[in-house]
Amino acid sequence: MCRLYAYMGRKTSLAHALVDAPHSLLVQSYQPREMTAGLLNADGFGVGWYAARQDVPPFLYRQTMPMWHDINFTEHLSRYIESACFLANVRSATPGQPVQMTNTQPFRWGRWLGVHNGFIENFRQTLYRPMRDRLSDICYNIVEGSTDSEHLFALFCNELVLNPQLSPLMVLRQTLQIVFSLAQAARTSVSAAMILTDGVYILATRCARGTPPPTLYWSQDAEKIQLTSEPVDQQTEWYPLPENKLLLMSLQSEPEIYAF
C-alpha cells in the first residue's frame, strides 16, 4: 500500500502539505493511520508538479529512499518549489516488486500525471501479459518499470489515444472496466485508489474487486482542491470517496461523483 496526495489551487510550496501539515505525506510515510497492508511507506517517494508555462510537461522528483531520509527535499527543494498543481506519493512496495526509480510514482505522459494505491493480486502471473498486450506501440513505451500501478497508468493513456471522442473521466471508467474484466477472467482481485491530472482537471477513483478498496478523501473550497489517502489536517472538511465511484474535480466547477 502507498499514500497519495494531490493539490490544485493557488500557488503554494510543496512543503505546505507534503511536509508541514499535521498529518502530512511525510508523517504518513512513517506513521500512517489507515493502511490495510504494511506498516510504513519506506520504499521511496515522488512528486510531480506543473509550472506556470503551459508549453512544458510537468516536472518529476523521485527517490528510492524514504521521504524522511531526504533532507534535500524536506528542508530545501519542497520549500523552494511552488506550484498551483502537484501530485505526490510515498511508497510501500508490493512484495516481489523491486525498489527502483522506474517503479516510483508519479508516472508521467505528456501533460498527464498519475498515482495509484492498491494492487493487482499476483500481477506478474495474472494480468501482466494481458494488460501489456492491449497497449499500442506508443503507450507500450511508457512502461519503464514492473509495477501494476504503471501498467494501469499506461492503459489509461492508451485508452486516451484510442478514444479521443471520450472525456478523460469516461476513459478512466473504460480503463477500469477493462482491468476488472481481465481480473474476472483471471480470477484475481484488484484494489485501486487512483488520482490523475492534466493540470486542469483531477480525476480520481476508489474501487475494488474481491478485496476492500484503499481509502481516499477529497476536499474543495474557494481556493483549492485536495485529495489524500488520509486527511492531512483536522481544520479542513474532508469527504471520503464512496466505494466504486469516479470523481471529477476542477477549480471552475463543483465536484462531480459518478458510479463506476
Instruction: Give catalytic residues, as residue numbers.
Output: 2
Burial class (CB in 10 A: 0-12, 13-18, 19+), 73: buried
In the 8-state DSSP scheme, what is residue 158?
A: H
Surface-to-core class of residue 251, CB atoms within 10 Å of its CB (0-12 exposed, 13-18 middle, 19+ buried): middle
Residue 128, exposed/middle/buried by CB under 10 A (0-12, 13-18, 19+)? Answer: middle
Angstrom distances, CA of residue 89 to CA of 2, 42, 43, 223: 7, 11, 11, 23
Q: Give CA–CA dist 107/120, Å, rounded.
A: 17
User: Which H helix or E strand runs over 172?
Assistant: helix 168-186
Spatial distance between the Cα atoms of 248 and 193, rounded to a whole number of angstroms = 14
